[in-house]
């Protein structure tokens, strides 16, 4: 697993988490109240200005961009 954090133009931050398995791409689902898992991407989607997944020969990277605190998003 690899984690990278970088500051972008406009006060944004980009966070990347990479792992060597190119399969099992993450999918945004809506967990029911009684579900014990399935909330990770929903939380990410709620706080990130944008996010995505990049497939590579050596695995995949899930990334998100976060706005600087106090700045408007979108």
**pLDDT value of residue 24:** 83
**pLDDT value of residue 71:** 54
Instruction: Give a yes or no: residue 73 inside a domain.
Output: no
Instruction: Give a yes or no: residue 71 inside a domain.
Output: no
2 three-state secondary structure: strand
Q: Report the C-alpha gap between 18 and 62 in whole angstroms.
A: 6
Instruction: Give a yes or no: residue 44 inside a domain.
Output: yes
DSSP 11: G
Phi/psi region, residue 34 (left: phi>0; alpha: psi -120 to 50; beta: rest), is alpha
**Domain assignment of residue 53, given as a range:** 2-66
Instruction: Give a yes or no: residue 72 inside a domain.
Output: no
**∠ Cα 61 2 26 (to 5°):** 35
**pLDDT value of residue 25:** 87
pLDDT digits (tens, 9 = 90+) for 15-72: 999 999 888 888 888 888 898 888 888 999 999 999 999 998 889 999 999 997 755 5
The total number of structural domains that make up the chain: 1
**pLDDT value of residue 3:** 95
Instruction: Give a yes or no: residue 46 inside a domain.
Output: yes
Contacts of 64 (CB under 8 A, 6+ apart): 14, 15, 44, 48, 50, 51
């Amino acid at each position: 697993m690899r984690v990278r954090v970088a500051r972008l133009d406009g006060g944004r931050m980009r966070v990347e988490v990479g792992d060597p398995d190119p399969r099992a791409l993450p999918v945004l689902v809506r967990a029911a109240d009684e579900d014990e898992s399935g909330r990770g991407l929903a939380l990410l989607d709620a706080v990130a200005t944008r996010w995505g997944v990049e497939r590579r020969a050596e695995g995949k990277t899930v990334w998100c961009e976060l706005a600087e605190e106090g700045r408007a998003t979108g």
